[in-house]
Amino acid sequence: MAKRGRKKKNKIDINIAVVALVLLSILLMILIYTKSGSIGETLSPMLGGIMGFIKYIIPIGTLLIAIYMTQNDKEYMTHKLIQYGIFLLCVAAMLSIFQVGKGNLSIDKEFDKVIEDAYYLGEKDIGGGAIGAVVAVPLIKALGSTGAVILTIGIAVILLIFMFGIRPAEMISDLLDELRERKEEKKKEKKSKHSYDDTVIEEDTKGRKLREKEEAAKLASQFEDQLTININEKDNKDDKKKYNHNDLSIPFFGKKKEEPSSPDVIDANLFKQVEEQKEDKTKEVLQLEHTITEEDENYEFPPVQLLAEPEKKTSKGGKKAVMDTATKLQKTLYSFGVSAKVENVSVGPAITRYELKPAEGVRVSKIANLADDIALNLAAESIRIEAPIPGKQAVGIEIPNKENEIVHFREIIESSAFQDHKSKLAFGLGKDVAGEPVVTDIAKMPHVLIAGATGSGKSVCINTLISSIIYKSKPSEVKLLMVDPKVVELSVYNGIPHLLIPVVTDPKKAAGALAWAVQEMENRYQIFAKKGVRDIKGYNEISKQEDTGVLPQIVIIIDELADLMMVASKDVEDSICRLAQKARAAGMHLVIATQRPSVDVITGIIKANIPSRISFAVSSQIDSRTILDMVGAEKLLGKGDMLFYPAGATKPTRVQGAFVSDKEVEKIVDFIKANGEVKYNEDIIEQIENANKTEKDLEAEQADDDGTDPLLMEAIDTVVDTRQASTSFIQRRFKVGYARAGRIIDQMEERGVISGYQGSKPREVLMSKERWQELKMTTVENTEE
């Protein structure tokens, strides 16, 4: 309380002092400047004699002291008062030195006489008064008049810098920059007919928008005859036809330290030329060469006519809209001091990528940090910046299209990229930012993790993967093992011949299915070792030569990992990790999907062993980092917009996923069912059922017909040797449950091995070792007979 009271009192004292100093400053101004009253007539000459002309600065100094006191920092105020006092001495000394130079003040007299003369001049407001003479005389005698002037001016300037925070170097630099900018602007006005006037920035919002529209319309009409670009068409494979790099004029690219210049005109050659869609090689059914096996005799590939035909859409605005955006993008970057030119534009199904080449000296990170500002200026939902584009000297800015186009699965199936793909595990993902089909090989992934929020396109992606396998491979070549805890996603595929077993929907049985997959992997490696081969490809080549059965590739698809991790996380995680580490060479591949990309579902061990990732739209940067180990997935648009990050790639590729509807999937499945019978592997089903049974079920199955426990013989051996018999002893020794241990004790009692229940007393072992050995030998002889 005492400290609080002292602080409050000090604050009141400071406020009183500040008010008093302000009033004193006003009073001194009146007395010194106007010499009002008898006090003014006396005080003004006296102060002039003491400090000369600088008496007029005293009221201002008093006001500054009042301002410094408001800082409530004694050390700060002390420093400022000292600086102010020394500054006044330097000014007074300079004024006295000037009077010596003019001859009004002589320093050849005695020091006292010089001070008196200086006081007399000060009364007349000439020189620096007595104080100025006291400082000036020794300096003149020591350094001369010129040296004394230089010293006092230098000290005064330094004190001003400290007192008011003046930065002369920055002021000079800013002045030079402004002069250089004006000079560059004048040069550009002469060289460029299409340069933008800096006064655009000062126009009001309405006027600026009208001017931008007029400029964009002018640019669009100027290159309308030269430009050929249609949305969702392919890029020309010949780079020389896209644009001639040497013809691109970039007048504002100069030395590293050159200031950013205004946006240049968008060149029509920056757009990729259109390539006609190649004729479809398929007529009704995909013609694929396969070795006919007994299983494949009745299998017929589904015709592409089962899939919906793509709708031909024309984008609103077309090339004019693209050029308007390109112009606006350059102007936006220029307004933030970034010199860059749009060199290429790739129009995809959902986004348009503008490739920017920054001027020399422009940091890539500076462009990347402007993502939100660019989105605001372009009125875009969200943008993604790829800085730099792998393999190019450019930065990619991906802007959503006003209207998204659906990439139909039929387009990918009919493309030459899919038809000419040699792998039986070809997977038609969709189209990239340039509108090119993206077809990958599951065998090269070799395992993939698919994640994304609800409704982002994850389930559709799995359907396209399964449909791609159905269109590309026969049942003897690729087998599928599907786990669907959600029950409704993959159950439609029950009955197709590619399935090893019916779709597993029970999360408890899923652990058994994965355990079978691990065992199958180990069995395959043992077979490879006997044949002296390293992988499934080598084994199948030998099998074809020897005319023996080939091993099919197996794709294990898990639709929702989160449900499995909740039921049996340890078993599921162990099986997934073992498969991910070793299953590739055995021809087994994992496809794992989840809508909850958290670290408790996608654990560090699972991530480390699954190299390929597909990320759909997620809700946060944290989820994006969990899937891809980088941000970016949170900026995706949803509805099939994905980042594909295959093993070995330096950066993910943005792809618009192919769409296959539920009706199309049903048509494909119905066609296959009508043309072939499914033969499930009963051994796998039995193994999964056994893996899911409880200890009680296994005990019941293992018991003999007469109810004898399989462990009875071993238990009698132990009891006869140790001469101990109790339920708890059997539990500890054989690690069985209490109920089973009790039954074993009862069976030993029935056979006369031990005595009956004796209350608190332990049971007696009635049978000797010799008698037990005789009984065992007799039992063995009877069995042999």
Higher pLDDT, 81 or 520: 520
Q: Note the pLDDT of residue 442.
A: 92
**Cα torsion 668, 307, 298, 521: sign:** negative
Interatomic CA distance for residues 478 and 487, integer angstroms: 23
d(CA 184, CA 172): 18
| pLDDT of 79 strictly over 60 | yes
Is the model's pLDDT at 293 over the cut of 60? no
Q: How far apart are CA 616 and CA 613, in angstroms?
A: 10
Q: pLDDT of 316-328, one tens digit each?
A: 557 788 888 888 8
For residue 59, is the peptide bond before it cis, meaning its omega torsion is within 30 degrees of 0?
A: no
Highest mean pLDDT among 195-199, 678-682, 701-705, 715-719: 715-719
Average pLDDT over residues 401-408: 85
Greater model confidence, 174 or 457: 457
CATH level 2 (architecture), domain 409-685:
3-Layer(aba) Sandwich (3.40)
The DSSP secondary-structure symbol of 767 reads S
The predicted structure's pLDDT at residue 216: 45
pLDDT of 11 reads 53
Q: Helix H segments across 439-560?
A: 458-472, 507-531, 536-546
Average pLDDT estimate for 561-587 = 86
Structure tokens at 157: 């300037």
In one-letter notation, the amino acid at residue 210 is L
Whether pLDDT at 290 is above 50: no
- In this structure, what DSSP letter does residue 389 have? P
pLDDT at 450: 92
Tokens standing for residue 391: 């393999």
Chain-centroid distance, C-alpha 282: 40
Residue with tokens 């049985």: 509
Given a cut of 60, whether residue 252 has pLDDT beyond it is: no
DSSP structure string for 262-321: PPPPPPGGGBPPEEPPPPPS-SSS--------TTTTT--PPPGGGSPPPPP---SSHHHH
The amino acid present at 526, given as its one-letter code, is Q
Domain boundaries, the chain: 2-166, 409-685, 696-784
Q: Which residue has the higher pLDDT, 370 or 41?
A: 370
Task: Note whether 409-685 and 696-784 share their fold.
Answer: no
Q: Looking at the predicted structure, is the pLDDT value of residue 573 above 60?
A: yes
pLDDT value at position 615?
92
The pLDDT tens digits for 428-459 are 999 988 888 999 999 998 999 999 988 888 89
What is residue 482's predicted lDDT score, i.e. its pLDDT?
A: 93
Among 541, 552, 544, smallest CA distance to 469 is for 552
pLDDT at residue 439, rounded to an integer: 93
- pLDDT of residue 724 exceeding 60: yes
What is the distance between the alpha carbons of residues 137 and 156, in angstroms, rounded to a whole number? 18
- The number of beta carbons lying within 10 Å of the beta carbon of residue 775 is 14
Residue range 5-14, pLDDT digits in tens:
444 555 556 7
696-784: CATH, from 1.10.357.10, 3.20.20.140, 3.40.50.720, 1.10.10.10: 1.10.10.10
Predicted TM-score (pTM) of this structure: 0.55
Distance CA 588, CA 586 (A): 6
What digits encode the pLDDT tens for the residues 514-558?
999 999 999 999 999 988 999 999 998 998 888 777 899 999 999
Report which listed range, 1-5, 250-254, 423-427, 606-610, is most confident.
423-427
In this prediction, residue 781 carries a pLDDT of 60
Give 760's DSSP letter.
Answer: T
Residues 89-117 have a mean pLDDT of 77
Q: What is the mean pLDDT of residues 293-298?
A: 58
The confidence score (pLDDT) of residue 727 equals 85
Q: Is 211 helix (H, G, I), strand (E, B) or coil?
A: helix
* Full DSSP string of 550-616: PPPEEEEEES-HHHHHHHHHHHHHHHHHHHHHHTTTTTEEEEEEES---TTTS-HHHHHH--EEEE-
Q: What is the mean pLDDT of the chain?
A: 77
Is a pLDDT exceeding 50 seen at residue 760? yes
Residue 699 has pLDDT above 70, yes or no: no
pLDDT tens digits for 16-37? Answer: 777 887 888 788 777 777 777 7
Helix, strand, coil percentages (3-state) for the chain, rounded to 5, are 55, 10, 35
Range 762-785 average pLDDT: 76
